[in-house]
Structure 1
Amino acid sequence: MLSEHFETIEVIGTNLAIAILFILIGLAIQDVLKKSQVPKFGRWFVWLVLFLGCAGFIAKGIIQVMWESGI
């Protein structure tokens, strides 16, 4: 049974690993921003860029699923 679903498990594991990586990057950025006392505008800009990176990753996943399913 495991061999039948190996590709699905691999995709889910990869997506979870990347999501955890994004969370850890976010925590590291938050720590650096706090310690270096970045102005509010700079913080907003940094979080915007981080959010757009996450949104791009999510959009890529959605487009890939749609492309493979033929929608």
Structure 2
Amino acid sequence: MLAENYETIESIMFTLGLIGLFLLMGYAVHDVLKSNDVPLIGRVVAYGVLGLGALGFVAKGIIELFFLSTGV
């Protein structure tokens, strides 16, 4: 296989790995919050922080695509 195929597969697997890690982190946070009877505001804050972390990775990917398409 060509080197560009390896890079494509690596990019796809990296993205899927990050998605899997965020799903597992979300499940772990959900389990801890559920078992400790955390109030609603605490749940909102915890899920918000986790969501903003995931949004940061999405923004990083979009910025990378923009820079790569412009040749920077």
Equivalent residue letter for 1:48 = G
Gaps of at least 5 residues in structure 2 are none
Determine whether 1:36 maps to 2:36: yes
CA-based RMSD of the aligned residues comes to: 1.2
Size of the aligned set, in residue pairs, is 70
**3-state DSSP of counterpart to 1:5:** helix
- State the partner residue of 2:52: 52
Q: Which stretches of structure 1, 4 residues or more, deviate above 2 A after TM superposition? A: none
| 1:46 positional shift | 0.4
Alignment of 1:1-71 (within 5 A): 2-3=1-2, 4-70=4-70
Q: Partner of 2:15: helix, strand, or coil?
A: helix
Tell me how far 1:5 sits from its aligned partner.
1.2
TM-score by length of 2: 0.91
Q: 2:27, 2:51 → 1: CA distance?
A: 13
